[in-house]
Structure 1
Amino acid sequence: MIDTNSDLLALCQSLEKSPALALDTEFIRVRTFFPKPGLIQIADQSQVYLVDPLGIDEWAPFKQLLVNPDVVKVLHACDEDIELFYHLMGVFPVNVFDTQVAAACCGMDFSMGYQRLVKSVLDLDLPKTHSRSDWMQRPLSPEQLTYAADDVDHLLEIYTFLKSKIDDGGLQNIVAGEYQQVVDNLQDREFGNAINRLKMAWKLNGYQLARVRALSVWRERSMRAKDLPRNRIASNDALMQLAKHGNWSKSQLFDIEGLPEQTARSCADDLIALLSVEYLQEERLPKPVKADRILNLIKSTLVDYAQRMGIAEQLLMKKPYTEATYWAVKSKSSLPEQVSGWRRGVYLEALDAVISELS
């Protein structure tokens, strides 16, 4: 167990020439927005190292290792791990290879769990009995330590298997592009997509929609500043209620279901100011797309492209992109810039193919 600053320094120095490292984290995230690290697992070609973050306060050596472009960092379903590293150390790892994304690129199931991937590639059965453990307790049990070590012990072998297929298929841009999207999402401080959590927002109109957009951004910023889960700030239903009626007094805020009393008390002035229409502009969201010939044609075209590329179709088909393509066809307009990254070229071809089919 690596549980002192000096041990971590020595470990990082010994690993700086490694061609690839497997990484994973264990954390808790129950009463906070940001994950609280309970354990960091590292594996090279020879052994597994378990790092106890509760005993370490000097992260510079590990931070340097994470940003070393000569060392591939191999993770599985990396989103929350990357968020933890960023919150703990203020950096995003570079040269990251996500085995979950890579598996989907190789035509395996989309969003495949680590245990299933190990079984599929290596024919090994791994238990998942301690995924909900209390990783902040000390000492950690032998069973917890074994479980944690298993999460990286086979990752480099899987990386070697998948990387060969990725290289043969020329799919490196997809793996890199999906990781860049993770980084971009974590770096977004405008929270322009926060409203997407409110599935019924499209039913609002004019100033109601402008209000709920402002409220959703306020909630994202508040929960980060206070390190609280979203519902501890305000539920989705509470934001919708606030936006629909607009004019609320401070006392009325306490009657809104899903708005915690602490929020109603401490944030009353902010909420009332946000609900003012003086600085808001009316806007509308498109209605949800209903299945019709156009949508079915777009989806079938994308499925064909995915099959030709040899990737999981769910990796290619993102709902916002599919709907943006739908409205581009309906309005006879160009594909919006929101359809970006490695998918954009495919969606442009799909758009042309659908328009040609319909003409």
Structure 2
Amino acid sequence: MPIDLHDGDLPDGLDLKSLARGGAVAIDTETMGLNPHRDRLCLVQLSPGDGTVHLVQFRKGEYDAPNLKRLLTDPEVTKLFHFARFDVAVMRAYLGVACQPVYCTKVASKLVRTFTDKHGLKDLVKDLLGVELSKQQQSSDWGAAELTPEQMKYAASDVLHLHDLKEKLDVMLAREGRTHLAKACFDFLPARGELDLGGWEQPDILSH
């Protein structure tokens, strides 16, 4: 699994759009915690679906990243996430961009795998692809100046399987007649992220 680490942005000349399998680039983030107002964005990992992974590491307060932002806002590239709600919110907060269009494997799983309450990435990859993921580095220090090989491998594993998951879930969505419902949910996710950032995380404004 080739992993390339980049400082502050994707390099000039790297055209992930042309490599994007099915028109999608898998994306994930690593932060200092789960509160975007307090816990800064440290890493964005991306895979075009060809077995390669690119990691963009951010130093505190340095979020220019014009090449990455161009990709995140390209309307012809689907941004493929697991739990997109958090990732699109944190990138909105730190990179100042609204990621669109979006696909979320967690949302898709909840719409079609109603026979289980296990929709985490580890469970999904095991159930649908037969692959065991290690989550050992999940709570490590992503703000460190130098990432360890173990951290980079963990970060890469979070995007490496998303294209395969999407293909499996798309078949299930079509089978159950819920493709249109999934798309409506995906289209709303950027707004859901903004609501979270604005203080409407709980209670949900759609609740009674």
C-alpha RMSD of matched pairs (Å): 2.9
Residue in structure 1 matched with residue 42 of structure 2 by the alignment: 38
Q: How many residues align?
A: 198
Q: Distance in 1 between matches of 2:108 and 2:67?
A: 28
The CA distance in 2 between the partners of 1:186 and 1:123, in whole Å, is 31
Separation (CA, whole Å) in 2 of partners of 1:97 and 1:195: 23
Give the structure 2 partner of residue 61 of structure 1.
67
Q: Determine the C-alpha separation between the residues in 2 that align with 1:74 and 1:30.
A: 20
Q: Secondary structure at the match of 1:74?
A: strand
How far apart are 1:43 and its partner, in Å? 0.6
Cα 1:110–1:9, aligned 2, differ >3 Å: closer, same or farther? farther
What's 1:9 paired with? 12
Structure 1 CA distance, aligned partners of 2:37 and 2:170?
34
- Label 1:107 to 1:34 Cα distance change in 2 as closer, same or farther (>3 A): same
Say which of 53, 61, 69 aligns to 1:48. Answer: 53
- Amino acid aligned to 1:26: E
Alpha-carbon distance between aligned partners in 1 of 2:84 and 2:137, rounded to the nearest angstrom:
19
Whether 2:122 is the aligned partner of 1:115: answer yes
> Does residue 22 of the first structure (1) align with residue 26 of the second (2)?
yes
Q: Please, what TM-score do these two structures have when normalized by structure 2? A: 0.82
Q: 1:64 to 1:193 in 2, by over 3 A?
A: closer
Residue 188 (structure 1) shift: 4.1
Instruction: Establish whether residue 182 from structure 1 lines up as the match of residue 185 from structure 2.
Output: no
* DSSP 3-state at the match of 1:69: coil
Greater Cα radius of gyration, structure 1 or 2: 1
Structure number with the higher strand fraction is 2
Distance 2:133 2:157 in 1: 7
String of CA shifts for 1:101-125, please: whole Å, max 9, x gaps. 1111222434611000000011111
Alpha carbons 1:24, 1:41 under 8 Å: kept: yes
Tell me the equivalent position of 2:109. 103
Aligned position for 2:93: 87
Higher RCO (C-alpha under 8 Å, 6+ residues apart): 2
Cα deviation for residue 185 of structure 1 reads: 3.4
Name the amino acid aligned to 1:3.
D
* CA distance 1:170–1:156, shift in 2 (3 Å): same
Q: Give the match for residue 136 of structure 2.
A: 129
Identity of matched residues, %:
26
Unaligned runs of 5+ in 1: 198-318, 325-359
Q: Distance in 2 between matches of 1:31 and 1:44?
A: 28
